[in-house]
Amino acid sequence: MNTFERRSEIVEMVNAGGSVLNADISAKLGVSEVTIRADLRLLEERGLLTRFHGGAAKLSTTQHDLTTANRELSIHDRYKLAADPKKRIAIEAAGLVQDGDTIILDSGSTTKLLAEELMNRSNITVITNNLPAAFLLSENKDITLVVCGGTLRHKTISLHGSIAEYALQEVSANLMFVGADGLDCVNGITTFNEGYAISSVMAAVARQVIVVTDSSKFGRKGFNSVLPIEKIDMIITDSDAPEIEVNTLKKIGKKVVLA
């Protein structure tokens, strides 16, 4: 059962029973209560249920349009759960992470969604400068979490600068996941903000660099380089990615996965 299926099942359980305890959800779905609490928090944020201490309850009809307890989730509700292209990309990326891996998560919204997908995993090490991702993963004691030091960049809620870069010097990782403001076949990943030196440091210590970005970023070129195309091994994007760009990436030896 993947993350989307698990969260769909949780909403169905809550709607069917009116309310349900964390322990009961955990027992039925075979995942930890830590994971269930995180799922419930996200589902509450998306307006699909309301939490109480130790469990969750169905929203009233004045709060939400879920008026039939045993019905299948509507298309609108399923969109909230996983139809967003970034969410599909994150699910695809999570499937690449193997037991025992050490991975690096760069800053960004898609890498934060990837952290959500990894929350119920065990026996992996995650190194990140992405504070929202670190906060999510900190709830799972079975994940070894390493947070880079450094200076906080408020816009991305991530850590940068010489201290963060120094913390990565002795690191060896299986995979690095990085987002993009812009991506093209000549310049690689670019940004419209100040340069991201930490991304190149992360890439240098990872065996494989994987870009996780939605199709809207293709063909855009920022004025600062994040990673050159030569440093990128794989791109995970959505099915709306421009065919010309995808084919060009494949021709130059880059693996492209459409989620």
Is residue 68 very low, low, confident or very high in pLDDT (cuts 50, 70, 90)?
A: very low
Q: Alpha carbon of 79 to those of 36, 46, 58, 61, 213: distances in Å?
A: 20, 10, 19, 20, 18
Is residue 7 over pLDDT 80?
yes
Residue at a domain's end among 67, 83, 99? 83
| Percent with pLDDT over 70 in the chain | 89
First to last CA, the chain: 17
Residues 94 and 190 in one domain: yes
Residue-range definition of the domain harbouring residue 10: 3-83
Q: What is the pLDDT of residues 120-156, one digit of tens each?
A: 899 999 999 999 999 999 989 999 999 999 999 888 8
Looking at residue 204, the DSSP 8-state letter turns out to be H
Looking at residue 59, the DSSP 8-state letter turns out to be P
Q: What is the pLDDT of residue 194?
A: 67
Average pLDDT over residues 49-60: 85
Neighbours of 182 (CB within 10 A): 22
Q: How many residues are there in the chain?
A: 259
Q: What is the pLDDT of residues 178-226, one digit of tens each?
A: 999 899 999 899 887 765 689 999 999 999 999 999 998 998 887 788 9
**What is the rounded distance in angstroms from the CA atom of residue 31 to the CA atom of residue 77?**
23
Q: Could you tell me the sign of the dihedral formed by the alpha carbons of 230, 231, 236, 240, in that order? A: negative
Looking at residue 18, the DSSP 8-state letter turns out to be S
DSSP H or E run through 38: helix 33-45
Residues 149 and 200 in one domain: yes
What tokens appear for 255 in the block? 């693996």
Residues 142 and 78 in one domain: no
**What is the rounded distance in angstroms from the CA atom of residue 198 to the CA atom of residue 31?**
35
pTM of the entire predicted model: 0.70
Q: What is the pLDDT of residue 213?
A: 93
Residue at a domain's end among 48, 83, 118? 83
Q: At what angle do helices 22-29 and 33-45 cross, to 10 degrees?
A: 110
Is residue 74 over pLDDT 50?
no
Residue at a domain's end among 83, 108, 140? 83
Q: Which of 247, 221, 222, 223 is nearest to 235 (CA)?
A: 247
